[in-house]
Amino acid sequence: MPITINEFIDDPKCNRRSFLKACTITAAALGLSDAMIPRLVEAAANPQRPPVVWLHFQECTGCTESLVRGSHPDIARLILDIISLDYHETLMAAAGHQAEKQLHETMEKYQGKYLCVVEGGIPTKDNGIYCKIAGRTAMDILAEVSSKSAAVIAIGNCATYGGIQAADPNPTGAVGVWDLVHDVPVINVAGCPPNPISFLGTVLHYLTFKRLPPTDQLGRPLFAYGRKIHDQCERRAHFDEGRFAERFGDTGHLAGYCLYKVGCKGPETYANCPAVRFNDVGVWPVGVGHGCIGCTEPGFWDTMTPFYERLPNVPIPGGGGIVASAESTGKKILAVAGAAVGIHAAVGIGKRIVKGKSEK
Ligand code: FSX
Ligand code: SF4
Ligand code: F3S
């Protein structure tokens, strides 16, 4: 049983200080001033918690795992306490008919008021038969649950853009939620998995301001996906000075130089990872020596692979010129963009991606 917000605040292990800390971290991630923290706290502590129906389709459950098993207990606890998680197949005790009953009771009782969170891609090929729950396809379930909700939060690359299932040749015709849901607002908390604070920030913004946060053309909240990884990266000075790791384990890598030449996709990826980081130990992929693989971008399994080859056409300051030696990656990006294989668009340096429709 999740504890109540008051029990949480009174819990000596997770006391009011922890609660305020979690709200402060989230306010900072949302780009709000300190003056807004009391409003955020008030919204988070409101006993009228929004009911949430959390659907799982084609995915690995890493999004839920990263939320509830994060080493930052304040964030995990706050997420579970600001919402009323009425249906969640991974976390709920109920199963079978009992779970189905719970789902339908929530939809009827809170019609137009509950939030629908979707984790996982939705297969559309052959009438969606490749993902079924209780005898119904993911497509049918999504259509019914989303249409009665106030809004849909798609969490993870799978639910936003189809994820790994949608990678070429996309055998099940997997797509993201916003390819199918057009009658209620949909927001894309992208990433594989996303940072829990990006999800928490989205929900807290909704509770505080009664609307979803502003988004980019890909439906991602701007507070979390408004800037490139490359423009916030602690290794950027090395990039600017032309100091690169040439191979994993070489002296440049050990010295913490830029990871561009070993495949970092930070120059084409929009996310807040360098600023917000993961867990409570301040880590993120590039910070621990691995390049960004672009997990917040549509179709990254096609457009960002091979993961360990450099991006083409990135101008290197200091006389490096345009790096054009990663032709295979470049060709792949262009090929995927042309074929629109279950994704919205390929990524171009310095320009945002414009949403298009994927093949069904
Ligand atoms: Fe996808 Fe989430 Fe990657 Fe996994 O469920 S975004 S495969 S981390 O967990 O949907
Ligand atoms: Fe950081 Fe990657 Fe950009 Fe290098 S290429 S500065 S490691 S984001
Ligand atoms: Fe994903 Fe890149 Fe962040 S791989 S977790 S967007 S650093």
Q: Which ligand gives the minimal distance to the CA of 260?
A: 2
State whether the beta carbon of 344 lies less than 6 angstroms from ligand 2: no
Residue nearest to atom 7 of ligand 3 (CA): 292
Q: What is the pTM of this model?
A: 0.85
Partnered with residue 151 across adjacent β-strands are 115
Is the residue at 310 inside a domain? no
> d(Cα 235, Cα 320) in Å, to the nearest integer?
17
Per-residue confidence at 12, pLDDT binned at 50, 70, 90?
low
**Domain end among 167, 194, 225:** 225
User: Of the residues 303, 329, 346, which one is the last residue of a structural domain?
Assistant: 303
Q: Which residue has the least CA distance to atom 1 on ligand 3? A: 295
Q: Are 218 and 244 found together in one domain? A: no
Is a pLDDT exceeding 70 seen at residue 65? yes
Whether residue 217 is found in the same domain as residue 327: no
How many Cβ atoms from other residues are within 10 Å of residue 99's Cβ? 17
What ligand 3 atom has the least distance to the C-alpha of 278? 5
Q: What is the DSSP letter of 18?
A: H
93 and 198 part of one domain: yes
pLDDT in tens, 178-237: 999 999 999 999 999 999 999 999 999 999 999 999 999 999 999 999 999 999 999 999
| Residue 79 within any structural domain of the chain | yes
| Residue 266 Cβ < 6 Å to ligand 2 | yes
What token pair was written down for 228?
A: 């490139």
Ligand 2 touching residue 258 (CB < 6 A): yes
Whether residues 152 and 281 share a domain: the answer is no
Identify which ligand lies nearest to the alpha carbon of 292. 3
Total number of domains in the chain: 3
Last residue of a domain, one of 225, 256, 282: 225
Closest protein CA for atom 2 of ligand 1: 63
Query: CB of 189 within 8 A of CB of 155?
Result: yes
Ligand 1 binding pocket includes 192 (Cβ within 6 Å): yes
- Give the mutation target among 54, 55, 59, 278 for probing the ligand 1 site: most ligand atoms within 8 A of CB: 59
Give the model's confidence band at 13: pLDDT under 50 very low, under 70 low, under 90 confident, else very high: low
Gap between the Cα atoms of 230 and 357, Å rounded: 28
Residue 258 has pLDDT above 80, yes or no: yes
| CATH code of 90's domain | 3.40.50.700
Q: What is the CATH number of the domain that holds 293?
A: 4.10.480.10
Q: State in Å: Cα 157 to ligand 2 middle.
A: 21
Identify which ligand lies nearest to the alpha carbon of 157: 1
- What is the SS3 assignment for 336? helix
Residue 21 pLDDT greater than 70, yes or no: yes
pLDDT at 351: 31
Per cent of the chain over pLDDT 90 is 65
Ligand 3 atom closest to the CA of 229, numbered from 1: 7
Looking at the fold, whether 57 and 188 belong to one and the same domain comes out as yes
Query: Do residue 87 and residue 217 come from a single domain?
Result: yes
Whole-angstrom distance, CA of residue 127 vs CA of residue 123: 8
Cα separation of 62 and 215, whole Å?
24
Q: Is residue 41 part of a domain?
A: yes
Q: Closest ligand 1 atom to the C-alpha of 159?
A: 10
20 and 146: one domain? Answer: yes
Residues 42 and 76 in one domain: yes
Asked if the structure places residue 231 within a domain, the reply is no
In a domain, 132, yes or no: yes
Please check whether residues 220 and 355 belong to one and the same domain.
Answer: no
| Domain coverage including residue 337 | 320-360
Stretch (H or E) spanning 323: strand 321-323
Atom number in ligand 1 closest to CA 194: 6
Residues 6+ apart with CB under 8 A from 297: 161, 190, 265, 268, 269, 270, 303, 304, 347, 353
160 and 281 belong to one structural domain:
no
Candidates 231, 232, 233: which one to mutate for ligand 2, based on the most atoms within 8 Å of Cβ? 233
Q: How far apart are the first and last CA of the chain?
A: 41
Residues 172 and 59 in one domain: yes
The answer on 275 and 347 residing in a single domain is no
Beta carbon of 61 within 6 Å of any ligand 1 atom? yes
**Measuring from each residue's beta carbon to the nearest atom of ligand 3, which residues come in under 6 Å?**
191, 229, 269, 271, 273, 284-286, 292-296
Q: Is residue 30 part of a domain?
A: yes
Please check whether residue 312 lies inside any domain of the structure.
no
Mutate which of 58, 60, 118, 278 for ligand 1? The one with the most ligand atoms within 8 Å of its CB, which is 60
Answer yes or no: is 187 within a domain.
yes
Alpha-helical (H) ranges within the chain are 5-10, 16-30, 37-45, 62-68, 73-82, 96-109, 138-147, 156-161, 196-209, 222-225, 236-240, 251-254, 273-276, 300-303, 327-339
- Per-residue pLDDT for 47 more than 90? no
Can you say whether residue 242 is alpha, beta or left, with left for phi > 0 and alpha for psi between -120 and 50 degrees? left
